[in-house]
Amino acid sequence: MFEIGFGELLLVALVALLVLGPERLPVAARMAGLWIGRLRRSFQSIKAEVEREIGADEIRRQLHNERILELEQEMNKTLREPVSISPPSPPVQPFQQGDLSKPDSHKPES
């Protein structure tokens, strides 16, 4: 992770021994170990949460894509179905002048 070699680790231990002394070095090493463990657990927890979220996003994306595919198939099916055309209406007869004097047979007389 940090790519620390054995020589570098030995140098850090020697400096810690000189700075802290032999009495406080074991306590400091224990505290450092506890903090490193807490950090690792926190990073693992965050990593697991991110992976769960990515998985949830992937599932949402798949459901969305499936819904789009269903709609596309439904549209294609609708477009392929034959369209029913009603028979043509009877032709309209041209207006003649004598038609105004006759009472309209469709309207009731009042």
d(CA 110, CA 99): 19
- Establish if 100 belongs to a structural domain: no
Residue range 80-106: mean pLDDT, rounded: 69
Contacts of 16 (CB under 8 A, 6+ apart): 25, 28, 29
- Establish if 65 belongs to a structural domain: yes
- Establish if 92 belongs to a structural domain: no
**Which range marks the domain in which residue 33 is found?**
6-79
- Establish if 44 belongs to a structural domain: yes
Q: State the pTM of this model.
A: 0.44
- 51 and 57 in contact (C-beta within 8 Å)? no
Query: Residue type at 18?
Result: L
Task: State pLDDT tens for residues 33-45.
Answer: 999 999 999 999 9
Counted domains in the chain:
1
Residue range 1-22: mean pLDDT, rounded: 86
Output helix, strand, coil percentages for the chain, rounded to the nearest 5: 70, 0, 30
- Establish if 47 belongs to a structural domain: yes
